[in-house]
A and B are shown apart, each in its own frame.
Chain A
Amino acid sequence: AQSVTQPDIHITVSEGASLELRCNYSYGATPYLFWYVQSPGQGLQLLLKYFSGDTLVQGIKGFEAEFKRSQSSFNLRKPSVHWSDAAEYFCAVGLNNNDMRFGAGTRLTVKP
């Protein structure tokens, strides 16, 4: 079955520490891949996206993600987390029919 999986529901990291949020997908072909961030009561902001080419993608706010075809993964990383990064993060895939499906989300808490 087609799916997007974010294995971690909640992650807590200390400010200044590195971060990696996991995302795996299960689709017949390589879909378009996205990471979005959502602050409470707000819409979604695009952090980065992968369509093709270089598998390491740079995004806004110091985030990057790496597409690994062999693992069907698109993990989000940041070398040093800031308190303002606390939010909900969603991995998503865009399909050829212009549809988009989201993972369940990972809530990030940043400790001082």
Chain B
Amino acid sequence: GAVVSQHPSRVICKSGTSVKIECRSLDFQATTMFWYRQFPKQSLMLMATSNEGSKATYEQGVEKDKFLINHASLTLSTLTVTSAHPEDSSFYICSASRGTGGEGYTFGSGTRLTVV
């Protein structure tokens, strides 16, 4: 159990366009989902925490208007990169939590975004 599906796995878009990434918990309800960004050969940096039915909490330095997060149901969170630029190219990973206390983290397989 505890499977998180992330889609798409790879996307190439033109500069100025928007891209939506989906994160779904397939066999459990995720009260909280997290979005991370990973630059090449670096660690994961938390971008935002997404709670179902409420606004996401963004980490310092993350542009809310650029990285739109929607968590409309207990099984789906989306990250939309708006007006993408080449510097937004990165590997984005989501994770979902089933409960509290750090016990239920399951990660998606990541999305490689390339902005040309």
A: which residues have CB within 8 A of B? 31-32, 34, 36, 41-46, 51, 90, 93-96, 98-105, 107
Cα(A101)–Cα(B109), bound, Å = 18
Q: Is B42 touching A105 in the complex (CB atoms < 8 A)?
A: yes
A-B interface contact total, Cβ < 8 Å: 64
How many residues on the B side are at the interface (Cβ–Cβ under 8 A)?
25
Does B25 count as interface, using CB distance less than 8 angstroms? no
Q: Is A98 touching B32 in the complex (CB atoms < 8 A)?
A: yes
| Secondary structure type dominating chain B contacts | strand
Extra contacts besides A45-B107, A51-B101 (4): CB < 8 Å: A34-B105, A46-B107, A102-B36, A102-B44
CB distance from B107 to the nearest CB of A (A): 4
Cα(A79)–Cα(B10), bound, Å = 36
Q: Contacts A36-B107, A43-B110, A51-B103: A90 and B49 contacting too (C-beta < 8 A)?
A: no
Q: Is B103 touching A94 in the complex (CB atoms < 8 A)?
A: yes
Q: Of the candidates A32, A44, A93, A101, which one forms a contact with B107 in the assembled complex, judged by CB atoms under 8 Å apart?
A: A44
Q: List 6 A-B contacts (CB under 8 A).
A: A31-B102, A32-B102, A43-B110, A46-B107, A94-B101, A94-B105
- When C-beta atoms are compared, the residue in chain B nearest to A43 turns out to be B109
